Amino acid sequence: AGSLWAQGLGGPPFDVPAGRWWDRPAVAQELGLSPEQKAKLEQLTAERVKAMIDARAAVQKAEVELRLLAEKEPLDVRKVREAFAALQQARQKLELERFEMLLAVRQTLSTEQWNKLRTVVRERLEERRERREGRRPEPGPRRPQDF
């Protein structure tokens, strides 16, 4: 799903790997994560995961409702518009949940760790893009594959 950041503001300001990246030994070592930071990231995830699940479910439900109303005969334009507005509101809430989670992650890391993490993410995305296009990345130091 595209976010406001990906739609024209030069990419997300908080671009981090998906999943529990801090549990991956290579990532934790490369970033120099302390046990306290890892514990804080665990806590953040535990606190926010249910809200993220609920927000994703609300978007999916709103998408279904909009589709059903748009396909129903006779077409009730007012109801379709209301369903579209509800979908946009659900998407906005999901983006807000994502943003708050990523902001909390950013606050947990030092500036150096954050910059290192963003560099790794950019490198990974570039490698994936090159693989999709059938080109091999230029030779150079390899990053651990578990990012």
DSSP letters for 25-42: HHHHHHHT--HHHHHHHH
Give the pLDDT of residue 10. Answer: 40
Encode pLDDT of 100-122 as tens digits: 988 999 999 999 999 999 888 88
Query: b vs e for 19-40, b when ≥16 Cβ sit within 10 Å of the residue's Cβ?
Result: eebbebeebbebbebeeebeeb
Q: How far is CA 4 from CA 8, 90, 91, in A?
A: 7, 14, 11
Least Cα distance to 143 among 116, 129, 123 occurs for 123
Query: What distance in Å separates the CA atoms of residue 19 and residue 71, rounded to the nearest whole number?
Result: 36
Least Cα distance to 106 among 16, 6, 12, 38 occurs for 16
Q: Which domains does the chain have, with CATH numbers?
A: 44-131 (1.20.120)
Query: What distance in Å separates the CA atoms of residue 25 and residue 133, rounded to the nearest whole number?
Result: 30
Query: What distance in Å separates the CA atoms of residue 91 and residue 60, rounded to the nearest whole number?
Result: 9
Range of weakest confidence among 8-12, 13-17, 47-51, 77-81: 8-12
Give the pLDDT of residue 47. Answer: 87
Q: Is the pLDDT of residue 53 over 60?
A: yes
Q: How far is CA 77 from CA 57, 59, 87, in A?
A: 25, 20, 15
Alpha-carbon torsion, ordered 118, 20, 12, 53, to 10 deg: -170
Give the pLDDT of residue 9. Answer: 35
To the question of pTM greater than 0.85 for the whole model, the response is no
